[in-house]
Structure 1
Amino acid sequence: MQQTTLGVSLVGCGSAPLSVALSNEDLSQMVDTSDEWIATRTGIRQRHIATAQDSLSSLAAQAGSAALEMSGLTAEAVDLIILATSTPDDLFGSAAQVQAQLGANRAAAFDLTAACSGFVFALVTAAQYLRMGVYQTVLVVGADVLSRWTDWSDRRTCVLFGDGAGAVVLQASDRDRLLGFEMRSDGSMNGCLTLPYQAESSVLVDDKMTQAGTFAPIDMNGKEVYRFAVKRVPEIVEKALYRANLTTQDVDWLLLHQANQRILDAVASRLDIPAERVISNMSRHGNTSAASIPIALDEAVRAGQIKPGDVVASSGFGAGLSWGAAIFEWG
């Protein structure tokens, strides 16, 4: 049987509400910092944190449910769930838990780990299944609970990160609205941003040893990550635009991973995209890793900023180091 190449449409988005907000003033009671210091350097005023009752899978399922509701589809219509996360409830994967909580009984489900690039990488991965006609409907979720792995005594990093989940529903379409993409990785720079496993030797029997340990908190070389982002992100957005046969003049909205307002401003300046066309929810959410792009997308769509037919240039970048861009038309 001959396969037919199809297109991709983004038909719904959603995010999970988190009830607990941790303000800069709250952090100033924990470490030597201030609201002014954090806001002027990062653009962040608060971040949300998961409660003891929240799990990564429950937040992801809430986001997925909201996206399905917007799309007008039921969970039973979903063929595949891709969960982009670096903080699963279970190291064997949490996507199947999301599938069960949604009641998406027909869907296969798997985790994809690419840190802050995870949502873009998952979006591109999902599109390939749809374009080849393997599946008709795919739910892509970006979710992270970084508070689990934040050193709350380290003022360099604890001011940056928050928890969250966002999702989009993709469907096969006779018109392809994923207009272009590009993905890159550079493992030689891995040490700039890590959440490393720290092993300790443990004796099994005689001279036979094994590892026993846990993951250390997030560690980041902020200056190197900033340099990496402001150089590589404009490049990869331009490459994705080239693949889409578009220029920055065709872009209605620039939607970047919400890492730092200074990075957003610098990338927009290098791409010659005016500030009023840059989506930012940095002040309210901080850096939510794989969740940041779909949360910002959901808020912008529901607020009426991003409208059907708008061209969005999105880019994720971070640990790995990895970075990617996807150009898509909403709706």
Structure 2
Amino acid sequence: MTSAEAGAAVICGLGYWLPARVVSNAELCTRLDTSEEWIVRRTGISRRRWVDPGEATSDLAVEAGKAALKSAGGGSVDAVVLATTTPDYRCPATAPEVAARLGLGGVAALDVSAVCSGFLYGLATAAGFIAADVAERVLLIAADAFSTLLNPDDRTTQPLFGDGAGAVVLRRGAVGEAGAIGPLVLGSDGDRSELITVKAGGSRHPMWGLPAGDSRYFQMQGREVYRQSTRRMAEAATDALAAAGWRLDDVDRLIAHQANARISATLVELLGLHRDVVLQNVAEVGNTAAASIPVLLAQAVLDGSLRPGQRVLLTAFGGGLTWGATTLTWPELDIHDA
């Protein structure tokens, strides 16, 4: 069976959701040893959205899922894939609850954990369901509430992350049509897993066996993560372009994981792209982890900076280490502001 006969995964719906609480740099500076100028200079972030107490990843995922299903014209799906590193519970997975709350109870539902690369790994999972004839339509949601993992006294991680969710509906379609996901390039490097961690709570370091301390919180070796992320995203993007038969000057829009403004700027330089090609929202929402790519896609469609027919390059990097990239020609979608 050829790839065309197996069917391509085609984006036919898109939505996003951000929590209501806005956290400004000024608010962070009232309790952290830092300044608004330092945060902006180091990260490019001015504000972010955080969940309120009692608000969870599933709440964000459900709202984004509703928006994507509405964008796709309603109807059901055959599977729900949730990309997240902040599930509601360590057990069970969060995707089945999200499916049930969306009125999709009974369909296949699973979580995918690839940290900030989660949306691209989720695309591969959803595309695999379609290619294997397991599903005709798949709802892929990327949602994270990373604020729940942060040390409240750590000035290096507190300003970086925002919470949010983005979602797409994928249908079976033809290779090469607008919205069809191009060749996916994915990779990992477990030898460097220590660069991005939350150590407490897993089987290696059960919560009951650890003293209170930093192991409960998100930790990152920032300098090496910067070096690895820019290199790995550039390599994956280059490989994805080659696999799709695209040249660099074919790219109309670069949608990269929104880690911080410095990483995005370096990535553009490494790829040799014009700065007008790159789209960003990190200043307003921070690093929304797995959700960053679909949230940016939705906001870019709404503000007109992403239009049907434009050739789009997606790339991301996350803990694990994990990374990935793919291409698509942007389709005509009916989406609504969250």
For 2:336, the equivalent position in structure 1 comes to none
Does the aligned pair in 1 maintain the 2:253–2:310 contact within 8 Å? Answer: yes
From 175, 194, 197, the equivalent of 1:194 is: 197
Does the aligned pair in 2 maintain the 1:178–1:328 contact within 8 Å? Answer: yes
For 1:72, the equivalent position in structure 2 comes to 73
The whole-number CA distance in structure 2 between the counterparts of 1:182 and 1:35 is: 37
Could you give the per-residue CA deviations for residues 3-56 of structure 1, whole angstroms, max 9, x where no partner exists? 941122111111113110111101100101111101111110011100124221
For 2:60, the equivalent position in structure 1 comes to 59
The whole-number CA distance in structure 2 between the counterparts of 1:295 and 1:41 is: 22
For 1:204, the equivalent position in structure 2 comes to none
Deviation at 1:130, TM superposition (A): 1.4
2:6 counterpart SS class: coil
Does the aligned pair in 2 maintain the 1:133–1:172 contact within 8 Å? Answer: no
1:309 counterpart SS class: coil
The whole-number CA distance in structure 1 between the counterparts of 2:272 and 2:244 is: 18
AA of the residue aligned to 1:292: S
The whole-number CA distance in structure 1 between the counterparts of 2:208 and 2:270 is: 46
Alpha-carbon RMSD across the aligned residues, in angstroms, is: 2.1
Q: Give the aligned length.
A: 322
Does the aligned pair in 1 maintain the 2:200–2:207 contact within 8 Å? Answer: no
Could you give the per-residue CA deviations for residues 177-211 of structure 1, whole angstroms, max 9, x where no partner exists? 2122100100111111101126899xxxxxxxx97
The whole-number CA distance in structure 1 between the counterparts of 2:33 and 2:313 is: 37
Does the aligned pair in 1 maintain the 2:96–2:105 contact within 8 Å? Answer: no
2:169 counterpart SS class: strand
Could you give the per-residue CA deviations for residues 97-153 of structure 1, whole angstroms, max 9, x where no partner exists? 110111013521000000001111001111122123321111111101111110010
For 2:29, the equivalent position in structure 1 comes to 28
Gaps of 5+ in 2: 332-338
For 2:124, the equivalent position in structure 1 comes to 124
Does the aligned pair in 2 maintain the 1:198–1:213 contact within 8 Å? Answer: no
The whole-number CA distance in structure 2 between the counterparts of 1:262 and 1:200 is: 35
For 1:172, the equivalent position in structure 2 comes to 172
AA of the residue aligned to 1:327: T
The whole-number CA distance in structure 2 between the counterparts of 1:231 and 1:135 is: 35
Does the aligned pair in 2 maintain the 1:6–1:130 contact within 8 Å? Answer: yes
AA of the residue aligned to 2:294: P
- Does 2:181 align with 1:182? no
Name the CA shift for 1:213/1:292 in 2 (closer, same or farther; >3 Å): farther
AA of the residue aligned to 2:293: I
- TM-score (ref. length: structure 1): 0.92
The whole-number CA distance in structure 1 between the counterparts of 2:181 and 2:216 is: 37
Greater strand fraction, Structure 1 or Structure 2: 1
Deviation at 1:320, TM superposition (A): 0.5
Name the CA shift for 1:100/1:305 in 2 (closer, same or farther; >3 Å): same
For 2:112, the equivalent position in structure 1 comes to 112
Name the CA shift for 1:200/1:290 in 2 (closer, same or farther; >3 Å): closer
For 1:146, the equivalent position in structure 2 comes to 146
The whole-number CA distance in structure 1 between the counterparts of 2:73 and 2:80 is: 17
The whole-number CA distance in structure 2 between the counterparts of 1:112 and 1:200 is: 18
1:66 counterpart SS class: helix
Does the aligned pair in 1 maintain the 2:79–2:109 contact within 8 Å? Answer: yes
AA of the residue aligned to 2:190: G
Does the aligned pair in 1 maintain the 2:261–2:282 contact within 8 Å? Answer: yes
Q: Which moved more, 1:155-164 or 1:98-107?
A: 98-107
The whole-number CA distance in structure 1 between the counterparts of 2:186 and 2:64 is: 25
The whole-number CA distance in structure 2 between the counterparts of 1:133 and 1:289 is: 30
Does the aligned pair in 2 maintain the 1:13–1:70 contact within 8 Å? Answer: yes
| 1:265-284 matches, cutoff 5 A | 265-284=265-284
